[in-house]
Amino acid sequence: MRKFGVIGVGHVGVTVAYTLVTKGIADELVLIDKDQKRAVAEQLDLQDAQARLDTTTNVKIQDYAELKDADVVFITAGRIKAISESKTGSRWAEFEYTRKIVKDIAPQLKDSGFHGVVIVTMNPCDAITQYLQQETGFDFNKVIATGTFLDTTRMQRVVAEKFGVNSKNVEGYVMGEHGGSQFVAWSTVRVNGRPIQELAELNHLELDYDDLEEQARRGGWYIHQGKGYTSFCIATCAVKLGQAVISDAQLACPVSMLNDKYQTYVGQPAVIGAQGVTATIDPKLTDEEETKLAHSAETIKEKFITM
């Protein structure tokens, strides 16, 4: 039986839940939210939809004990308005609120007997995931976040538009913080199987890497300005990771996880399977890229300590 939990049924959480149900990925789904009426409403809405679906999901609500035998728990709670209200528009603006949420969630999740994989979408993504791991004491490999998995999709879109190809045919990684200090590891990027610079030369294209990177970095902010939050892509990334866990897919992708070298959670490529992170991937970065990764890791550590 494939069982999932979603803690925090806001824009992202409900999109995760909807995807799990309508795609027939979950046999059982547990929804938990501080707002009882919202939890009931989303349960009923999902139950009603199943009369028109080819699959059936048993949807339960508001019971941490039900998470004991869950394979994956998504933690998507937050206060997105904090970002809008801040002067900087930084994801760090949520840290004050998400730490309080973790303080409430962590002991209940631990006491439930849950022993699966936790996938976090909260902000600031890297720091709050490390804080959650500390508060629960769960194995590092079983507490991960979407991290730069999301930012990598934005890079793929930007590069695909530049070359006129499908974004699925763009490979490579955005690494570092899910935030301002992230960077595209251009040495890892390939388009239709060719290194990006090689294909650009073949097509007589001039590439402004700084501009492409800025487009990718600002992608989420453009969405946030337009509709007040992001939901579809981040939920899709989270579900993709959840599927990798339940199918032991050994999926290679960037996630936020503990980096042994820098001793902080940071976005880097890894292999995801039934036990969460089953292996790390250390791409051969240029000296400049390695410096950027170190800077991003230190940025996360410094803010984590001072917040």
Q: Which residues participate in the annotated binding site?
A: 8-13, 33
CB-CB contact of 130 with 258 (8 Å):
yes
CB-CB contact of 270 with 277 (8 Å):
yes
Query: Cis bond leading into 195, ω under 30°?
Result: no
- Coil, helix or strand at residue 272: strand
Give the ranges where 194-249 is alpha helix by DSSP (H).
196-202, 209-227, 232-246
Amino acid (one-letter) located at 191: V
CB-CB contact of 97 with 53 (8 Å):
no
Question: In the numeric block, which tokens belong to residue 137?
Answer: 């004491």
Report residue 178 CA to chain centroid gap.
Answer: 9
Sequence-distant (6+) residues with CB within 8 A of 203 are 163
Could you say which of 115, 178, 224, 295 is catalytic? 178
CB-CB contact of 231 with 12 (8 Å):
yes
HSE of 196 in the Cβ direction (CA atoms, 13 Å)?
26
* Binding residue numbers for NAD(+): 8-13, 33
CB-CB contact of 81 with 57 (8 Å):
no
CA distance 219 to 2: 33
Q: Strand 72-75 to strand 3-7: parallel, antiparallel, or no bridges (unpaired)?
A: parallel
Q: Is 115 a catalytic residue?
A: no
Residue with token string 């890079």:
155
CA distance 305 to 307: 6
At residue 35, φ and ψ (nearest 5 deg) are: -95, 105
| Residues catalogued as catalytic | 178
